[in-house]
Structure 1
Amino acid sequence: MKKNKSYIVWTRSLIVFLLVFTAALSSCSTDDLKAKYFSADELKLTLSSTDMVLDQSMFQQKFAFKWTTGDNKGTGASISYKLEIDKKENKFANAIEYDFGKNKFDFDINIATLNSLLLSTFNGEPGKAIALQARITATFADKSVAPQTAVVDFKLTPYKPLSTELFMVGDATPNGWDITKASALTAQAANPVVFVYSDQLSKGKFKFAVNTDSCFCQDFYTKDAADSGKIIHNTGGSGSDLQWEITKAGKYKITVNLLKLTIAIEEQDTPAFTQLWIVGDASPSGWNVDTPEAFTVTDNPFIFTYEANLTPANFKIMAGTKGGWCGEWFRPLVDNQSITETGVAQNSGCDTDNKWQVTAQTAGRYKIT
């Protein structure tokens, strides 16, 4: 029995010791965690730069604002954040505000968007630095903890944004010198300062406009007399009006970089026209330019055919766009050229209006290729 009593006493002592030891560990662990989780963290705000000159080439970059958590004084209260940006002289009286709520510790803004804010909201001038301030404010769910703020002074210099649109105008283009119908180039998504035109051009000249307003007093991009691969930005219609010239009708790819002021003109190995029509009183079309009879495209996209009975009179062949008399045409080399002669010229406009002639002797059914 003595042996059993000693065993019981020893067991009880061990249990008490383990309980006390476990409680001590638990208490220590909680205190350490609490000290770590609620340690003081002074609210600080940092920026990508405190003095930056913005540039159009930065369109893919972002300007960053980052901040620390702040200190909730060990209350365990959640923290919400608000960022304000304003001119330094305003002292945040007219600030742009971004309320982020909880668990947000950074904010990025696209350089192009930031530049727009500087010019429109803060009335900035391109090339002139603007003194600004950014302020981050931390507020706490436990109102016993006062709001905390951090302020950073910085300077940003905006740029004059390039046009987001570009148009071709001139007698080499489908709509001639009618600037209200100028042909649009396509801005490239990967680089919005690069514009591309890929379509038909006629013999003639062209230049680039930034909009389709009827006034020719707008900004234009014209040819650099010293370098065929360069363009000149003429503001408000000023400067030399040098234009590019297309000497051979066909399909072209034109690439313009407004930032680098470069141009590349490439002739494409494709037919100049994808449709042809016969027009004239010698043909079933008559002098109808709106709904003339069409040629048929063969397996070779450069070869078109048309078959019909031709009567004594004249005709010519329309190309490009229907509905106008001064567009693109295939005409004979001289007026009233015999249908049996094969000479042909491609030209545009109404100045040279040569036509083939079908006489009583040459009238009949023809296949024109």
Structure 2
Amino acid sequence: MKQIFRLLTIALIGFLVISCEKDEDQAVISETNAGKLSSDKSTIVLNELVANDAVINFTWTKPTFNIAVVSSQQIEFGIKGNNFKKSATVDFSNDLMTGSVTHAAMNAAMFNIGATPDVVNDIEARLKTSVGSAAFYSNVIALKVTPYTPNPDLVYPKINVPGGYAGAAGYANWNPANSPNLFSPEKDNKYRGFIWISNLTGENGQYKFAINQDWPGNKGDDGTNTGKLVGDGANIKAPVIGTYYVKVDWVANTYSSVLANFGIIGDATPTGWNSDTDFVYNPATKTYVINSIMLSSTGSFKFRGNDDWALKFQPKKDDQTLVSGKAVQTYFNAENTVDGDPNYKVSEAGNYKIELDLHNSAYYKLTVTKL
């Protein structure tokens, strides 16, 4: 028993010594000189047309430490006043003391921190030097950055909807790389979007879900037709022709699809609030179009699905007056992105072409053009 007690005592002392050594190692790393950051300009306007060109150059002095360390370094961006609570970083090799950031990389950083496109944003930047789990920061420099609206087709995750319907919709039949996509605006493995089916003969009205624009990992119905998916499952069959709003939870292996044929309605239209004028799908442009409709400047309008009020496209919050030929983002109430029940208006009465682009659920686009 004494021998066992002696061994336990030695083990406990050894554990305490090791723990103290670890604490001491953590405590002795300290910054002797802080890093310093500067840039060659303080105001930049980002441009997608030269996305791969450098837009700003940074120069920095690395921090020094009281012991030799292996560190990594990044330029960190945040919106002024938020104390970098939501930030984005651009990495640089540890052997560098100067580096440039491209229009595309800067715009991606601005998008990730929530900067507003097409207006001047007050941005802060600093050098972030990481040593293990510890981070050390330089001085903060102020920037004025005007981002552009990023291409939603490139910045949001997506899955593909290949099927026998796709060729008639302007894509290619059973080709994941050339098919409509469902996007995940919240980047949470939940995808949604619209597909158009014009024929139910044979496989014309059938589809599956693929990822990475290829067949490996594809999913289809589990055979019960109850909205459950399995790997390489059965084709999903549309019950009737028309436009479908499709949702997929890729992790939970579930899907749903509801008919959603849209039209315009409102007292700015010839038929008022009593009936709709329907959109027609154009496979050449992959958009929904009303080629000609008279709109008054005294009334308003919105877009609803299936001649009912459950599904609507409308402004995000307040009534919005549209400018001829200028595309705007429109919002789908079923996605909980609309506050209240706002309508659209035009400032000048006349004959209009209306185009609704629903190919990307992260950015539904509406354009009215006076004829």
TM-score normalised by L of structure 1: 0.31
TM-score normalised by L of structure 2: 0.31
